Structure 1
Amino acid sequence: MADAAPKSPSTTPVGVDITRASIARVYDAALNGTNNYEIDREVLRQVATVAPEVADLAWANRNFLIRACRFLATQGQVTQYLDCGSGLPTAENTHQVVQRLQPDARVLYVDNDPVVLAHGRALLEENPQTRFLEADIFDARQVLHSDLARTFLDWDQPIALIQNGTLHHYLGQDYAEVMAAYIDALPPGSFVVVAHFLDPQTTAHSEIARRMEERFTHSPMGSGVFRTREEIRRLFGDTELVEPGLVLCEDWWPDGPRYTPLNQVQECIAGGIGRKG
């Protein structure tokens, strides 16, 4: 029996334009979520014409985030998180992972997508250790100088800054400066988590990376840059990378041995964690 066609939400939050694709909703569609519309699914269909496994970008990103959060809450003993571009609520969000390990951990999510804000606030309204800030994640000053960020987080103690699957949607040449402003504000002992679309610069995978980039940037979403390892490394500033460094998301402390080779899409997203001395 064939699977039923994906359905859009029965109601649309105020301020949502369903004629334009949303980064958060495209991500949600790739994770088989239900908070997306036909225009968002069209983005994935367009990229799938050159990379049928396109949804694996989202899954590699999500699974890396979960493993990174487990590391930060246990080995890093981090109890404060600034999660930029949190996306739509789904299973194993940052607060769910870290608060299971550090019950007193505080998580501040930052986003300005109306769907994310509507669903996020409903999800978190009963969690006193978690807040949502409506702001532009690419404007560090707006985020860092907000009353909520200044009062909810203790800026004298380490903070984990998370930009997971976000900065490849920033098209400016000053992309590294966006992160530099955040890193400068972090207290010593803080961590920086980044996952980003990768151009591996190999004969086998650079072509597919650039073809996906072309489809993403010319789709209704309009963004999705695949940067080189050297370009992505700049996002960590002068922080010291935690072993194994900046690697494929699937290679950052995987949960077990790999029996199945990575596909072409999984070779095109990298992640890492830096620690500020």
Structure 2
Amino acid sequence: MSSTEHSRIDTSVPHPARRYSYWLGGKDHFAADRESGDAIAAAFPAVVALARANRAFLGRAVRFLAESGVHQFLDLGTGLPAPDNTHEVAQRITPESRVVYVDNDPIVMVHARALLQGDPRGRTAYLEADVRDPAAILAHPSLRETLDLAAPVGVLLVTTLHFVHDDAQVAAVVQHLLDAVPSGSHLVLTHGTMDFSTPDGVAAYEKMFAAGGTDVRARPKHAIEQYLTGLEIVEPGIVPVSDWRPDASADRPVSADLQIYGVVARKP
């Protein structure tokens, strides 16, 4: 890592990608990320299992898209490399698959460029950018060189949108991305929710969110449905990630306090 890159990494502030890596058992995190992760896990013990279930959902969803004929992927909010990254899953099925990874954490991009080397018959690219500026992402030369936006694209927003707190901004981001891709493209989305919690659990979450103890803006199912307007929702619909087409051997955690919705939808 260069001195310039290191200077842009604020290790005193927790970052979602590094905290997620901590929950997944990764090594690329700092004290602030571990403290934040431990505090959230203390309030909601299921969060680590849910993070792992979310990761497993990503693999199943990418496999479904690849088997359905989608061979290009825009992975927004990539996170740090972990087993079964998007290009690895897709290129096992179609070696020519192309993937653009996007994250706003410099350390993610450093590790991605070093570790995420795909099948030479396909292509991978890495953009340091923020999902809240989809126009800049879509106009980036590396994206345009890697993806053909006239052909179907899998747009992956996996545990990304709940870090954008403004509802209207989330809707605008999703619409902008979907407007840029053609018929046959798919949206893969996961999002934290408190729909399954007790009133006490909701109160504890709201208190933690207000105090800055968590940066996840949980949303109800009906809010997520609004982001899918005009799309064909793939069965089984909007469900907890562990219930979306689970593998026979999958560990299916059930949480009374916290859950992550997952959904795949096709642009007609």
| Common fold: TM-score over 0.5 | yes
Equivalent in the alignment of 1:142: 136
Equivalent in the alignment of 1:242: 234
Residues 1:271 and 2:262 are matched in the alignment: yes
Q: CA deviation at 1:258?
A: 7.4
Instruction: Report matched runs for 1:127-276 at 5 Å.
Output: 128=120, 129-174=123-168, 175-200=170-195, 204-205=197-198, 207-209=200-202, 211-212=204-205, 214-215=207-208, 218-219=211-212, 223-256=215-248, 262-264=254-256, 268-276=259-267
Q: CA deviation at 1:156?
A: 1.2
1:52-80 per-position Cα deviation (integer Å, ceiling 9, x unaligned):
22212311211110110111111x11110
Which stretches in structure 2 are left out of the alignment for 5+ residues?
none
Does the CA-based 8 Å contact 2:53-2:242 persist in structure 1? Answer: yes
One-letter amino acid of the counterpart of residue 259, structure 2: C
SS of 1:236's partner is: coil
TM-score normalized by the length of structure 1: 0.87
One-letter amino acid of the counterpart of residue 81, structure 1: F
1:65-120 per-position Cα deviation (integer Å, ceiling 9, x unaligned):
0110111111x111100000100011111011111111100000011201101101
Q: C-alpha separation between the residues in 2 aligned to 1:259 and 1:191?
A: 26
Name the % identity: 37
Q: C-alpha separation between the residues in 1 aligned to 2:204 and 2:115?
A: 37
Structure 1 residues 257 and 23, CA gap change in structure 2 (3 angstroms):
closer
Structure 1 residues 213 and 272, CA gap change in structure 2 (3 angstroms):
farther
Q: CA deviation at 1:148?
A: 1.6
Greater than 6 Å deviation, 4+ residue runs = 257-261
Q: C-alpha separation between the residues in 2 aligned to 1:119 and 1:22?
A: 15
Q: CA RMSD in A?
A: 2.1
Which stretches in structure 1 are left out of the alignment for 5+ residues?
1-11
TM-score normalized by the length of structure 2: 0.90
Residues 1:39 and 2:32 are matched in the alignment: yes
Q: C-alpha separation between the residues in 2 aligned to 1:260 and 1:248?
A: 10
